[in-house]
Structure 1
Amino acid sequence: MLSTLIWVAGTLFLAKELVSFLYVFYKGLLRAPKDLTKYGKWAVVTGATDGIGKAISFELARRGCSVVLVSRTQSKLDAVAAELKEAYPKVDVKTEAVDF
Structure 2
Amino acid sequence: MTAVLSLVSPRHLYLAKQAAQIIGLLVLAKIGLTLLSGFYAFFLRGGKKLTKYGKWAIVTGATDGIGKATALELARKGMNIVLISRTQSKLDEVATEITTKYNTVSVKTVSV
- With the shorter chain as reference, the TM-score category is 0.7 to 0.9
Corresponding position: 1:90 with 2:98: no
Q: How many equivalent pairs are there?
A: 90
Letter in 2 for 1:45: V
Answer 1 or 2: which has greater helix percent: 2
Who wins on radius of gyration, i.e. which is larger? 2
Following TM superposition, by how much is the alpha carbon of 1:27 offset from its aligned partner in structure 2, in angstroms? 2.7
Letter in 2 for 1:76: K
C-alpha RMSD of matched pairs (Å): 2.5
| Runs of at least 4 residues off by over 2 Å | 16-20, 22-30
* Structure 2 unaligned regions, length at least 5: 1-23
Distance of 1:89 and 1:38 partners within structure 2: 21
Letter in 1 for 2:54: G
Per-residue displacement from partner, 1:48-76 (whole Å, max 9, x unpaired)?
00000001101111111100000000000
Partner residue of 1:67 out of 81, 84, 96:
81
Specify the alignment match of 1:80 in structure 2: 94
Identity %: 61
Specify the alignment match of 1:26 in structure 2: 40
Larger RCO: Structure 1 or Structure 2 (Cα < 8 Å, ≥ 6 residues apart)?
Answer: 1
